[in-house]
Amino acid sequence: MTSSARTKSINVVLGVSGGIAAYKVASILRLLTEAGHNVQVVPTQAALNFVGSATWEALSGNPVISEVWDDVPDVPHVRIGQAADLVIVAPATADLLSRAASGAANDLLTNVLLTARCPIVYAPAMHTEMWLNAATQENVATLRSRGSIVIDPADGRLTGADSGPGRLPEAEEIVSVALGVLSEQDLLGQDIVITAGGTREFLDPVRFLGNSSSGKQGVALAIAARDRGAKVTLICANASVSMPAGVAIENVITGDDMHAAVMKASMTADAIVMAAAIADYKPKSTHSSKMKKSDDGSSPTIELVRTTDILADLVTHRNTSHPDQIIVGFAAETGDDHGSVLEHGIAKLQRKGCDLLVINEVGPNLAFGTDDNEVTILTREPASQTTVSKTSKTQIAHAIWDAVIALQH
């Protein structure tokens, strides 16, 4: 499976309900049409109070249909849903979610939802109190139990001075989740844990030992696993990239934080991918106040100790209590007098005992912070070596999941 499944032109119904976030949906529409998809916008009458038909028609290239009584001979309340390959509802207001969950058919959009035989993705947007209300949560649970995808809203500024969960996710995230449900679901039902970013080990309240990992590869792995049907937990350390929707996020800072979070999450995981760059060393002690420069110009001596080897702990735990679990390590390497990047990677695979090891060479403009990379994927049993030539981190993520699935079968 590759991302090619998401590049085929499809028929998308974009339902728009009546919330202030309706203006943001124009960006969703543009992303879909620029990707070559045919989009039929179906706004509710309330939505047209926020954004008019002219906008939707200009951006989609299709006439807007908003009433059951429009184009009656074409029977739009049945035809539109039947012809759709994908339905996206954004914003999905509390009212729309309630009507969809109850099976109401009191406007064109709810009729489309009842006649659609394709995946339906809801992107809620509403005030925090409405989102957290028990009635809304029950409606969301009902829709999810029927197979619909309901993206959790973002946390941020809402209408007026309010702030909290209820903000419409970014357009790119909604489109990514929606198109992802059309991908081959070869990780469906699996519990996946992924780490991303780089840990920090503090010398004092200001300074720390760290690395320049952006978290891009870990996030790409999370999105790819999500799109292939997995339940994903992303444990993220100090990443500089946006977090994906449809994924459980746990933020950590230090290696000890990461160790605790990973070991807890691993208890139920079918596969764990350790893509984070975790510090090998940390200060033996941390100063409680900022370290000051000495008057005599001397430099402080900082004693370092080894951090916990999380990958080794995972392998030990797996070998005793979870024998079918797949563990994937990452090796950010440089060649030296003792061996090449590949030789160091092979030695690490044998030393750590994980199932797969992804090797990438690091350095200026290599791996960390870039949008593309070149990696070698090693498997321990049966021993194999696969080189993924320079390509996007999204494609690398899918290659890694292909390798994981091959081991599971």
Query: pTM of the prediction?
Result: 0.73
Q: Say if residue 175 is in the same domain as residue 201.
A: no
Query: Contact, 118 vs 181, CB < 8 A?
Result: no
DSSP string, 111-126: HHHHH--S-EEEEE--
CATH code of 102's domain = 3.40.50.1950
3-state secondary structure of 388: strand
Q: Say if residue 240 is in the same domain as residue 379.
A: yes
The mean pLDDT value of the chain amounts to 90
Render pLDDT for 280-308 as a digit per residue (tens, 0 to 9): 999 999 988 998 888 787 888 899 999 99
pLDDT at 343: 87
The burial of 253, by beta-carbon neighbours within 10 Å (0-12 exposed, 13-18 middle, 19 or more buried), is given as middle
Q: Say if residue 171 is in the same domain as residue 195.
A: no
Active site residue 211: yes
pLDDT at 2: 40
Q: Say if residue 142 is in the same domain as residue 221.
A: no
DSSP 336: B
CATH code of 372's domain = 3.40.50.10300
Q: Say if residue 220 is in the same domain as residue 363.
A: yes
pLDDT at 368: 66
- Domain annotation covers residue 1: no
Radius of gyration of the chain (CA): 24
In the predicted model, what is the mean pLDDT of residues 173-191? Answer: 89
Give me the sign of the Cα torsion angle 126, 131, 134, 138.
positive
pLDDT of 168 over the 80 cut: yes
Both tokens of 353, joined, read: 């005992």
pLDDT of 117 over the 90 cut: yes
Range(s) of the domain holding residue 313: 191-408
In the predicted model, what is the mean pLDDT of residues 15-39? Answer: 95
pLDDT band at 1 (very low <50, low <70, confident <90, very high): very low
Domain boundary among 180, 206, 225: 180
Q: Say if residue 148 is in the same domain as residue 203.
A: no
What is the CA angle 210-213-218, rounded to 5? Answer: 130
Domain boundary among 180, 201, 232: 180
In the predicted model, what is the mean pLDDT of residues 236-240? Answer: 93
Query: Contact, 313 vs 265, CB < 8 A?
Result: no
- Domain annotation covers residue 2: no
Q: Measured in whole angstroms, how far is the alpha carbon of residue 47 from the centre of its chain?
A: 29
Active-site hit among 211, 238, 360, 373: 211
DSSP 363: B
Q: Say if residue 337 is in the same domain as residue 282.
A: yes
- Domain annotation covers residue 153: yes
How many structural domains comprise the chain?
2
